[in-house]
Amino acid sequence: QIISILYDYYANRQVLAEIQEVYQESRDGEDSQEGGDMKGIRSSFTELLRINPDIVGWIEIPGTDISYPVLQAENNEFYLTRNYKKEKSRAGSIFMDYRNDVKDLKRNVILYGHRMKDDSMFGQLDKYLSEPFFRRHRIIYFDTLYESYDAEVFAVYKTTTDFYYIDTDFSSDEEYLSFVRRLLDRSVYKTDLAIGPDDPVLTLSTCDYTFPGGKGRLVIHARLKKKM
């Protein structure tokens, strides 16, 4: 069983290395290519979409090994146990909540990923529980098919699924800002970052094993801003 687990870790890293190379080459050549396609999709994602049309973005966190494609399915279960090739995988994929619209990112944009014991996927998000790391690595890079964003981290905390931090439907600006205040109140560390009603929040969600029953979660929130 141990050999099987170790092989899964190795195979997952090999598969991810393949697509990381594809993305890096595409991104390096993006400046020399003319725009994207007729649908407005950026040229850096052309090759990725040939591999899997479910790819909607790419996330990269400096100071960690997190540099992965972001998938999106019609539900939040499919990519829990499948890699970007749609093959069965213990590590699954980083994936966007099916309720989010990559063409129009509003309010709470949620990315999920497993917290693997070999530190792959969202396994290194726990670095944000260290205040020096939290202060030095506030910017997350999030590219989508259509835009490029800087996401500035403003909250990190552990919780359980009893706290509904994955809400995506807000009836008013006031309701949304009340939601943001609850996120700020829960954070282990405080910042003076202002979040307005038109500022989308990027939420990164992974498991936390300090809570019993599989209900524990480690959560990071960041303010999304389009790059100029």
Decide if pLDDT at 31 tops 60. Answer: no
Radius of gyration in angstroms for the set of CA atoms belonging to the chain, rounded to a whole number: 17
- 224 phi/psi in degrees, rounded to 5: -85, 130
Rounded CA-CA distance 149/199 in Å is 12
Q: Is 207 considered catalytic here?
A: yes
Rounded CA-CA distance 73/23 in Å is 20
Q: Tell which residue, 63, 226, 40, has the closest CA to residue 145.
A: 40
Residues 95-129: tens digit of each pLDDT = 999 999 999 999 999 999 999 888 899 999 999 99
Q: Tell which residue, 221, 228, 90, has the closest CA to residue 163.
A: 221
Percentage of the chain modeled with pLDDT above 90 = 79
Q: Which residues 6+ apart lie within 8 Å of 199 measured at CB?
A: 223, 224, 225
Q: Which of 105, 195, 207, 219 is catalytic?
A: 207
